[in-house]
């Protein structure tokens, strides 16, 4: 047995008194990781050895290890064995630094759920600093595409999302917004026509304006961009790039079905139209549909980021691109910043490899699910589009409300949201709606208060008695 195995210690909490034996084994592993009896890199006993010692079947051990792996506690390496992935971070362990109190509840930005990532980052930086060779690799001038090791880890991460890409076709960026700008510069020239849905991410609207492109917004339905509108636009304007968010549209929170994705790719291929697929928004792994990039890797630039999943401050994103765009992307990166700071990519890579990334995502998924239930409960009967895992919802206002008036009135009540006008492209007729983000407030109580405030304004203050006060 491997010298690192501490069998008598970490199995002390194992009990077969009640429940399935395989679950008891997984619980024992989780408890050992929590209390420090097992550490990152520790090797666990073989299935056969542990089955003999515990007097259970090998199948029980296999199921127990599988459950522990599902919880992101351990990982199996072919030909080497089963190893502990890292420390279990729990909400109860967090010591969140208190921010200055503010009377305004800001629900205007799709930020990751507040969590004390400070402790995790401090431990990670200490680990990196303790390895001189590792530090040296981060202090040299690097290739514009970033370190091959980081790109390989990102490729492995994407593979868990069923997105398979060669590390050589990955460009590390300073977050998703930077990635979108690099894609714009590589795929278009100032004066070119680009298209997107009529309601889209304001950051891309600004990037397209800065790059001096002609940006056209196309009609949408309940599934996103309407294919016939894209076909007509291609015939009339011959655009060079199509920008889409099929996995979770911002701001409408719509999901584009597979058939619609295939229709759009078919149109784009006939008209030699490149597609920029923005997949920065947080989407639960079990809710993902096949990406545009997976359907047409020769036609699609895939833009991703760790901002919504790990930390916005890491400013680490990535582009997956068709091979023929490599030189143009490298030139765009070289002229912009040469290469993003590798330390940030190193932190993201460490969190992925250690299992911290999955633990943060699991905690965030649970928090968002709670807040989505709050929104469903408090805004029952109100027209709002959202997903159970989405950071935001798209609230369509009833008559006679206008978005600008509603936002101003809500702000006076201490809640900040964004109106639909900010997401509109060109002269598109803007719906009377607002985007409200449930992820950014630092407590569920603040989310609940904001939702109750929204409900009261939409129900009580639309009574004829109150209308003169509102308008």
* Beta strands, E only, 219-256: 220-221, 224-225, 241-244
CATH number of 358-470: 3.90.1150.10
Choose the CATH number for 7-84 among 2.60.40.10, 3.40.50.1820, 3.30.365.10, 1.10.10.10. Answer: 1.10.10.10
| 390 burial level (CB within 10 Å; 0-12, 13-18, 19+) | buried
Question: Strand 74-77 vs strand 317-320: parallel, antiparallel, or unpaired?
Answer: unpaired
pTM: 0.79
d(CA 387, CA 288): 12
Q: Is the peptide bond before 400 cis (omega within 30 degrees of 0)?
A: yes
Q: Please report, for residues 180, 394, 397, 411, 440, the alpha-carbon distance to residue 408 in angstroms, rounded to integers and kept in the order given.
A: 31, 17, 14, 5, 20
- Cα-Cα-Cα-Cα torsion 196, 199, 200, 205, nearest 10 degrees, comes to 80
Count the Cβ atoms, other than its own, within 10 Å of residue 133. Answer: 6
d(CA 291, CA 277): 8
Count the Cβ atoms, other than its own, within 10 Å of residue 365. Answer: 18
DSSP string, 275-343: EEEE--S---GGGPPPPHHHH-TTTEEEEEESTTTT-GGG--EEEE--GGGHHHHHHHHHHHTSS--HH
User: 3-state DSSP: the chain helix, strand, coil percent, rounded to 5?
Assistant: 45, 15, 40
- The residue extents of the domains of the chain are 7-84, 124-356, 358-470
CATH number of 124-356: 3.40.640.10
pLDDT at 4: 46
CA nearest 292: which of 309, 308, 305, 274? 274
C-beta separation of 7 from 25 below 8 A:
no
Q: Can you list the residues of the chain whose pLDDT is less than 70?
A: 1-8, 12-13, 18, 72, 78-79, 86-102, 461-471
DSSP string, 439-471: SSSSSHHHHHHHHHHHHHHHHTTTSTTTHHHH-
Q: Quote the tokens at residue 257.
A: 């079905």
Q: Please report, for residues 61, 121, 172, the alpha-carbon distance to residue 245 in angstroms, rounded to integers and kept in the order given.
A: 42, 30, 20
C-beta separation of 309 from 272 below 8 A:
no
Q: Quote the tokens at residue 70.
A: 């599902």
CA nearest 19: which of 11, 9, 30, 27? 27
- Residue the block writes with tokens 């989505």: 372
pLDDT at 470: 44
């Amino acid at each position: 047995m491997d010298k690192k195995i501490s069998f008598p210690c970490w199995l002390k909490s194992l009990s077969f008194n009640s429940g399935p034996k395989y679950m008891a084994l997984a619980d024992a592993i989780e408890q050992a990781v929590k209390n420090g009896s097992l550490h990152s890199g520790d090797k666990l006993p073989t299935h056969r050895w542990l089955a003999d010692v515990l007097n259970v079947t090998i199948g029980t051990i296999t199921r127990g290890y599988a459950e522990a792996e599902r919880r992101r506690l351990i990982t199996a390496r072919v030909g080497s064995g089963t190893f502990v992935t890292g420390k279990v971070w729990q909400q109860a362990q967090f010591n969140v630094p208190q921010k200055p109190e503010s009377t305004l509840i800001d629900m205007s930005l799709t930020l990751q759920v507040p969590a004390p990532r400070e402790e995790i980052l401090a431990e990670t930086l200490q680990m990196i600093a303790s390895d001189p060779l590792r530090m040296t690799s981060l202090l040299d001038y690097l290739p514009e595409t970033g370190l091959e090791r980081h790109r390989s880890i990102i490729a492995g991460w994407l593979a868990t999302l069923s997105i398979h890409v060669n590390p050589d076709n990955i460009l590390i960026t300073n977050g998703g917004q930077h990635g979108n700008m690099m894609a714009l510069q590589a795929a278009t020239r100032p004066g070119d026509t680009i298209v997107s849905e009529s309601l889209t991410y304001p950051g891309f609207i600004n990037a397209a304006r800065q790059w001096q492109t002609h940006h056209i917004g196309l009609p949408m339905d309940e599934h996103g961009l309407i294919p016939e509108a894209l076909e007509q636009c291609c015939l009339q304007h011959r655009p060079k790039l199509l920008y889409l968010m099929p996995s979770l549209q911002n701001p409408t929170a719509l999901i584009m079905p597979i058939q619609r994705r295939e229709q759009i790719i078919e149109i784009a291929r006939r008209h030699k139209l490149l597609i920029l697929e923005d997949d920065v928004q947080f989407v639960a792994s079990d809710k993902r549909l096949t990406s545009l990039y997976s359907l047409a890797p020769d036609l699609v630039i895939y833009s991703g980021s760790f901002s919504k999943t790990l930390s916005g401050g890491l400013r680490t994103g990535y582009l997956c691109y068709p091979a023929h765009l490599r030189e143009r992307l490298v030139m765009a990166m070289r002229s912009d910043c040469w290469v993003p700071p590798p330390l940030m990519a190193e932190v993201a890579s460490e969190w992925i490899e250690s299992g911290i990334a999955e633990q943060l995502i699991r905690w965030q998924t649970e928090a968002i699910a709670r807040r989505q239930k709050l929104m469903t409960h408090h805004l029952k009967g109100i027209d709002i589009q959202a997903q159970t895992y989405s950071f935001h919802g798209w609230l369509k206002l009833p008559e006679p409300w206008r978005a600008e008036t509603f936002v101003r009135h809500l702000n006076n009540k201490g809640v900040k949201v964004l109106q639909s006008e900010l997401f509109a492209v060109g002269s598109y007729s803007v719906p009377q709606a607002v985007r409200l983000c449930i992820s950014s407030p630092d407590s569920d109580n603040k989310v609940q208060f904001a939702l109750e405030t929204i409900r009261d304004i939409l129900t009580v203050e639309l009574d004829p008695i109150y209308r003169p006060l509102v308008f």
